[in-house]
Chain A
């Protein structure tokens, strides 16, 4: 039925010289390493992963580590999952701000706070931030205060997170002081506001406006949450969206494609029709309709919907690869040895078909992040209380006339992440595609 003997890239095993050649993957890795842009993308993504995991230690209001009634706790883990936080703090009725409760309930306690004292889920105003500082240093800085405050100017930190917080895994360097002192929750202006009584109007501005020394990326209008905190903690969502969505899509696509390509016959016809069926429905229609059926979907349901609708291209590619590879001798040999079908499919053929399939997977991650933020922009994405880049953009869209920082910073975050994945995808393509390899000078 199918026409079009499309010139599919032939990814046969590298032939040629008979020296003990490096394996396919180590060879591909060597080629990949030689591409500076692709490597930069990979490093950036790894960095994002680190930021996502270490987000509670970078931005938060709960201590990274604290000593309370003789025991050591890690309350910041509560940001990753509420269960990870030790229930003792709930039993002892800890309230926000954490440091006040800690001081009240156990004067002997000490704690090390995250690099930046801010919270992605609730408002943290100037007073609370100042409350954590050692009550001194009112001198010398009073002159710089108004200047730093009145000029919205460039944000205090580079929006590409990562560098400002150097080693995110490490807690603040010197914070072992026996009282709740933030080692350094990084104020590049050298503490301009400490102890300096400002007019109340200006104070209000600080907690409700453009980037300033207290809110490096400004404040989101709803609930007045710090934008930087949302962006750092939103990294987790962005990473999850990418990997989980494409993970689901890859499992469905590879399994169906492998079966269709290897078994052939009726099963192939049915699976191919199914693929065509899914490709014929405009994706956004399907996603929006599915999300409407779920009604107020959680972030996991969104990932599921995106994954279930995004497997078609992977399936097609896998099918093509398997059709090509199943005729090769080593597959026949495996069959002759009595290997069962799943073993042939996934142990013998799949490793050799993986290279071309990896490319759409990488691009798919970028696509998933894009789609999710686009859905958030429409108000269909992640629930409003979860810190996510798309959610910020949505609020920025509602207030784009006044709040540019709600567009610029999440925009840069999404853009750089998508760019990184695209660079990786292209690097992979060039490193594994033998057609492109021959042409390299």
Chain B
């Protein structure tokens, strides 16, 4: 077990190095640097002189070729310094930390809701397989699964922001808090965030819910055909006892893998949805960083995403062995 873990971690470390190296190579070869992009867009007349640019490049270490720049970055990270975001004008670590709260609020709630709703739904389905209500809900779930979240987001915005403007049902357009958030009482602060959260949360959740419930249903159908379920039925177990204790417990194995692999989604944010709703999460930060050639920010985020992805894979494998005693580390 221990040697397996060590080997996996070493391998993950190697992958991490390769990924960051590749991404660094990519972004350093994008046209434009953080200096030129910022200046040119802000005001053409303020474009900096050649000497000034060279001086700045030296300060930020951009005068060196990218492969040397990578090792400089790596060395900084080794010391626990993620660098300085030229676009956000603050250390990368801080600008990422600021986004963790909103990102988790959205994705954490969404993942939680999706699972909490999907499990009973999936169990209910497998009990009523083939009946009219099951087929209707299954079909609806299937349609939802194919409905792109950004289309749903735009349609919901048209409905709740534009059509229902002025009524009690109206929902805010963008962001996480209203402009007068600071003056609110704690209670209305909570309501304010909730009102901002509803639409992004809906769009974030329904796809996962549809996927999870179908996933559970498929696994349950498989489990219900197994001999041990027949045995349990023959012993005279109650219906729900068979469903929950005998069948569902055995479907947890693939379910746990999905759980582990959703770890990066927790902090990964969603570039498109966050862009539509103006949600101050990781996705938006990443998108803005790429647009502004904010190298250190991109690298910091890539480091975080990739670490989470690798950790998620490792976690999935470990959990897998944990719930399925047949699996051993070899």
Q: Which residues of A contact B (CB under 8 A)?
A: 1, 3-5, 273, 276-277, 279-282, 284-286, 288-290, 292-293, 295, 366, 370, 373-374, 377-378, 393, 396-397, 400-401, 404, 407-408, 411, 414-415, 418-419, 422-423, 435, 439
Contacts and interface: CB of A to CB of B under 8 A. Distances in A.
Interface core residue of B22, B148, B298 (most chain A CB under 10 Å) = B148
Which 5 A-B pairs rank lowest in CB-CB distance, beginning with the nearest?
A411-B151, A419-B146, A407-B154, A289-B26, A292-B30
A282 B16 CA distance: 12
Given A282-B268, A289-B26, A3 B306 contact: no
B124 interface: no
B112 to A, nearest CB: 22
B239 interface: no
A393 B151 contact: yes
A202 to B, nearest CB: 24
Given A292-B290, A293-B30, A396-B154, A401 B271 contact: no
A407 B151 contact: yes
A435 B222 contact: yes
Given A366-B146, A400-B158, A418-B146, A281 B151 contact: no
Interface in B52-70: none
Contacts of B238: none
Contacts of A366: 146
A393 B321 CA distance: 45
Interface in B147-191: 147-148, 150-151, 154-155, 157-158, 161-162
Nearest to B27: A289
A418 B7 CA distance: 41
Contacts of B7: 1
A415 B206 CA distance: 15
The main secondary structure of chain B at its interface with chain A is helix
Contacts of A273: 15
A3 B158 CA distance: 49
Which of B26, B147, B264: most chain A Cβ within 10 A? B26
Nearest to B320: A4
A414 B147 CA distance: 8
A418 B148 contact: yes
Contacts of A439: 221-222, 225
Interface string B279-312: 0000000110010000000100110011001100
A415 B143 CA distance: 8
B15 A280 contact: yes
Contact of B162 (A288, A374, A400): A400
B142 A288 contact: no
A418 to B, nearest CB: 5
B328 interface: yes
A281 B161 CA distance: 36
A414 B327 contact: no
B45 interface: no
Contact of A282 (B26, B150, B264, B326): B264
A284 B305 CA distance: 11
A366 B146 CA distance: 9
Nearest to B163: A404
A415 B148 CA distance: 7
Nearest to B254: A7
20 contacts: A3-B317, A3-B329, A4-B320, A284-B271, A285-B23, A288-B286, A288-B290, A289-B27, A290-B26, A293-B26, A293-B30, A377-B272, A378-B272, A393-B151, A411-B148, A415-B146, A418-B146, A419-B143, A422-B146, A439-B225
B116 to A, nearest CB: 25
A396 B276 CA distance: 11
Given A374-B148, A400-B158, A407-B155, A288 B287 contact: yes
Nearest to B224: A439
B221 A397 contact: no
Contacts of B327: 3-5
B145 A422 contact: yes
B9 to A, nearest CB: 13
Contact of B306 (A282, A370, A401, A415): A282
Contact of B155 (A373, A408, A422): A408
Given A3-B328, A439-B225, A281 B19 contact: yes
Contacts of B145: 422
Given A3-B4, A280-B309, A415-B147, 4 more contacts: A281-B22, A281-B309, A393-B151, A397-B154
Contacts of B305: 282, 285
Contacts of A370: 148
A295 B290 CA distance: 12
Contacts of A396: 154
B174 to A, nearest CB: 11
A277 B150 CA distance: 29
A277 B15 CA distance: 6
B148 A3 contact: no
Contacts of B31: 292-293, 295
Which residue, of A279, A281, A408, has the highest number of chain B Cβ atoms within 10 A? A281
Contacts of B271: 284, 288, 378
Contacts of B16: 280
A366 to B, nearest CB: 7
A282, A290, A396, A439, most chain B CB atoms within 10 A: A282
Contacts of B268: 282
Given A3-B328, A4-B317, A4-B320, A285 B146 contact: no
B290 to A, nearest CB: 5
Contacts of B272: 374, 377-378
Contacts of B29: 293
Nearest to B286: A285
B274 to A, nearest CB: 11
Contacts of B142: 419, 422-423
By CB atoms of chain B within 10 A, which of A1, A3, A285, A418 has the most? A285
B18 interface: yes
B49 interface: no
